[in-house]
Structure 1
Amino acid sequence: MNNDIYNLDEKKKNDCLENSQVPKKINDNDLIELKKQVISLKNNLLHETMNIEEEIKKVKIRAEKDIENIYKFSLEKFINEILSIIDNFERALQLSNHFNDDNYLEINSKLKQIIEFSLNVLKNFGVTVINKIDVVFNPDIHQAMSIHFSESIKENKIISIFQNGYLLNDRLLRPAIVSVSKNKKETI
């Protein structure tokens, strides 16, 4: 019986040796082929590692840009709400300018201070006002609401501004609503 156990163990050893992937004897051609395979695998691994590193760099740059944009433009909705308040103060100022009463002089002064203070606060957050006249009409930042025909004013110039436009970090929040000049001779 002990002999059968011994034979069983020998049989297992032989089966393991026969089924193993380690060759019993390696010739030179096999060795060269194995070295080529190792070099090829090493090159593939190096190539894949470089691709992964490049992809990680791209993801990192994209994430940094996204974070920067979130920081720059996170206040956009809030600033638009503030702009509507400033618009109302500007309308109130225009209305009170029509009265020549001394009581309105103090109101005008206070309204101007509020508007100036509000615009300075917005300027600290990267907001710039589009309110220049006598500049060339730019459809990227202006919205033409009327055309003023004239022979004395150059073509395609901003004549007046009905409502200021605003940029947030060089991105348009709201276009300026303007009146544009047109040469009278060309329309006849």
Structure 2
Amino acid sequence: MTNGNTPSFDAEENAIQAEIEAERLAEDSEENWDNNTDSRMAPTEAEAAADALQDASAQITALTEEVEVLKDRLLREMAEMENLRRRTAKEKVDANKYAITSFAKDMVSVGDNLDRALQSLPADIRANAADEIKNLFDGVELTNKDMLNIFDRHGIKQVNPVNEKFDPNFHQAMFEVPNPEVVAGTVLEVVQIGYAIGDRVLRPALVGIAKGGPKTAAPTHATAPEAGLGNSVDTNA
């Protein structure tokens, strides 16, 4: 009996051992597969991460460039707005300053007539004239002074540049006077007084200028330039 049961027991034991070995091999195979899969997947994930990082860097670069472009555009537009504001403010000031230009040009001829009236009566005749004539002359003189004061309040100045350097912006040369002792280009005579409003000429002064003299004035020991050489307009007004 004993010998008859031994083969059956051995077969069963062998079957169990075979099953255990099969499970072990299956586990080893699964583990090896997982390891191989991990080893194959790792480079792919690294490449994907590198690509994502490269894409993000490219996007950051593009956004940075766009920000710089927008910043530059904003600064330009702000500068243009500031220039526009200054230009508009200047135009407003100029509009107020020069609004009466046409009227002032017409009034200049009135001033000329008043000057002619005052010059028509010499001082000696006036001193011996009747009271009515004196009163009339005084009235014309006061009217002329009032008109000049009104001109001054509105920025209108006379251009009377005797002994000053010729300025083509405000003077019109009518003739030249040979004079070797005076700097060439000096205004020696004013034929007709000019007028200006602000830094714009209303009417140029008609003048005679010196020629034949030195190009520059001889140096002097004066500490300050001589004042009161004329009543020309201040072009910086």
TM-score, reference length from structure 1: 0.70
Give, in angstroms, the shift of residue 153 of structure 1: 6.8
Give, in angstroms, the shift of residue 144 of structure 1: 2.8
Aligned to 2:70: 45
Give, in angstroms, the shift of residue 63 of structure 1: 1.5
After superposition, what is the alpha-carbon deviation per residue over 1:25-78, rounded to whole angstroms, capped at 9, x for unaligned? 983322222222222222222222122112211222222222222222121111
Aligned to 2:118: 93
Aligned to 2:201: 172
Q: How large is the Cα RMSD of the aligned pairs? A: 3.0
Q: Partners in 2 of 1:157 and 1:36 — Cα distance?
A: 68
State how 1:154-169 maps to structure 2 within 5 Å. Answer: 156-169=185-198
- The residue type equivalent to 1:77 in the other structure is S
Instruction: Please say which structure displays the higher CA radius of gyration.
Output: 2
Say which SS state the counterpart of residue 137 (structure 1) adopts.
coil
Aligned to 1:66: 91
Give, in angstroms, the shift of residue 179 of structure 1: 3.4
**2:136 aligned with 1:107:** yes
Q: Partners in 2 of 1:170 and 1:135 — Cα distance?
A: 18
Residues 171 and 42 of structure 1, relative CA distance in 2, 3 Å threshold: same
**2:85 aligned with 1:35:** no
Aligned to 2:151: 122
Q: Partners in 2 of 1:117 and 1:161 — Cα distance?
A: 23
Single out whichever of 119-128 and 99-108 deviates more from structure 2: 99-108
Give, in angstroms, the shift of residue 79 of structure 1: 0.9
- The residue type equivalent to 1:175 in the other structure is P
Structure 2: runs of 5 or more not aligned: 1-48, 214-237
Say which SS state the counterpart of residue 145 (structure 1) adopts.
strand
Aligned to 2:17: none
- The residue type equivalent to 2:134 in the other structure is L
- The residue type equivalent to 2:69 in the other structure is N
Structure 1: runs of 5 or more not aligned: 1-24
Identity %: 22
Give, in angstroms, the shift of residue 177 of structure 1: 1.7
1:162–1:179 CA contact under 8 A, matched in 2: yes
> In the comparison of the two structures, how many residue pairs are matched?
160
Q: Partners in 2 of 1:33 and 1:151 — Cα distance?
A: 80
1:96–1:104 CA contact under 8 A, matched in 2: no
